[in-house]
Amino acid sequence: MLDIRELRKAGEEIKARLALRGFELDLAAFEALDAERKSADVRSQELQASRKQASRQIGELVQAGKSVDDAKAQVAETLVQIDAELDREVQRAQAIQEQLREFLSGIPNIPHEDVPPGKDEQDNIEVRRWGTPRELGFAPRDHVDLGAGLRDGTLDFERAAKLSGARFAVMTGSLARLHRALIDFMLDTHTREHGYLETYVPYMVGPEALYGTGQLPKFADDLFRLEGERELYLIPTAEVPVTNLFADEILEAAELPQKRVCHTPCFRSEAGSHGRDTRGMIRQHQFEKVELVQLVPPTESDAALEALTGHAEHILQLLELPYRVVTLCGGDMGFSAAKTYDIEVWIPSQNTYREISSCSNFRDFQARRMQARWRNPETGKPELVHTLNGSGLAVGRTLVALLENGQNEDGSINIPSALRPYLRGAERLGG
């Protein structure tokens, strides 16, 4: 959520910055609401003063010789009128405050100064590439065919559809082991080499947590809401519960940075994606992800984004998977992000790079919604932290990339050396 004080002070500048991401800020509507809120507050203060004056009048009448009962009776009607109007003004102020909250909740984050202008992914800027796509010497098969053809494991979408419908998968044998090995490999690398604390969280959260990280109220259609005695949602990413661990807390400076890594399943309705990536595991309703989350002092968040992105890249380098990094343009960024790097891995069957991780700096946008703060030792006062997260990595898409980049003509799959200890030393699957 944006700082309402900054919006009052620099509304036109913020409106221009938000236009970089294709968002039209209705500044006139904000100013009208804010003026109405101020009017209600001023009138409430005036009525409070009038009430105090009326109460003082009782004492003045008593001092002039009237009985207490007579004095109270003389000003009673005035007090009743004041109290009735004061109640109305308080209710009006509360209603306006809620309208302001809803208005601010629908405004996306202000783009970072480095974010390029643009409407969609065609306007993203490539930053770097790593690795060279392998020359296969034969027509590449996609992960669906490769998974179906392995002798010691299967990737089964038909049986998954029988259970749950489209956009689900069943894995068995060597593929299920490979999937599990990737999770362990990622967690071990991030905890041992990158200094993250492994964290386990619930897979269901209340609406407050989703509001805190920006999924609600705007993206309710993308979520799976559960029926039950409490309002709960399946998490779309571990970002939601892990970041919200620090909601309504004040961290001491010595407790920062907070670096957490968390493996969870993720659940997304994929609203609006009809017809996109219907084949295979690229876009599923249920998938696994190893998520990286950081909370840092504001002055450190730019550097933290570079480091976090590098941590996700390191996984791909160890797995010997070619990739590129792009800076998202304003129109392609997520709602809460101030700046995002997408890491895109090479997919031979599609002859292109596909997203495997998004790494974002949210600055204080999420922290303001969650009231996640730290005590600045220079001032001694609580201030908002900056939050960051990124996939380190999406496990299903990493599996897809491993199958396709490691494929041989006989249908077997080469296993990169860094992953072999997690597969009992196996150098390949199938074949």
Q: What is the DSSP string of 309-350?
A: HHHHHHHHHHTT--EEEEEPPGGGS-TT-SEEEEEEEEEGGG
Kindly write down the DSSP assignment for every residue of 37-59, as one continuous string: HHHHHHHHHHHHHHHHHHHHHHH
The pLDDT of residue 277 is 78
**CA-to-CA distance for 122 and 112, rounded, in angstroms?**
19
The pLDDT of residue 252 is 98
What H or E segment, with its residue span, contains residue 262? strand 258-267
Task: Judge whether 238 is annotated as a binding position.
Answer: yes
The pLDDT of residue 237 is 98
Active site residue 89: no
Catalytic residue among 37, 141, 268, 368: 268
Ramachandran category for residue 91: left, alpha or beta (phi over 0 → left; psi -120 to 50 → alpha): alpha
Do 356 and 324 touch, CB atoms closer than 8 A? no
The pLDDT of residue 410 is 95
Task: Judge whether 268 is annotated as a binding position.
Answer: yes
Are β-strands 197-198 and 258-267 bridged in parallel, bridged antiparallel, or unpaired?
parallel
The pLDDT of residue 151 is 86
Catalytic residue among 134, 283, 354, 428: 283
Task: Judge whether 239 is annotated as a binding position.
Answer: yes
Catalytic residue among 85, 249, 320, 355: 355
Report pLDDT digits (tens) over 169-220: 999 999 999 999 999 999 999 999 999 999 999 999 999 999 999 999 999 9
Active site residue 355: yes
Task: Judge whether 273 is annotated as a binding position.
Answer: no
The pLDDT of residue 68 is 64
Q: Token pair for residue 226?
A: 């559960």
Task: Judge whether 269 is annotated as a binding position.
Answer: yes
- CA 157 to chain CA centroid, Å, is 29
The pLDDT of residue 250 is 98
Task: Judge whether 102 is annotated as a binding position.
Answer: no
Are β-strands 197-198 and 373-375 bridged in parallel, bridged antiparallel, or unpaired?
unpaired
> Which residue stretches of 106-229 are H helix?
143-149, 158-164, 173-192, 207-213
Active site residue 180: no
Task: Judge whether 291 is annotated as a binding position.
Answer: yes
Active site residue 56: no
Catalytic residue among 358, 363, 373, 412: 358
Best CA proximity match to 399, nearest among 315, 305, 328: 315
Active site residue 397: yes
In the chain, which residues have pLDDT < 50? Answer: none
Q: Token pair for residue 73?
A: 């009776």
The pLDDT of residue 77 is 79
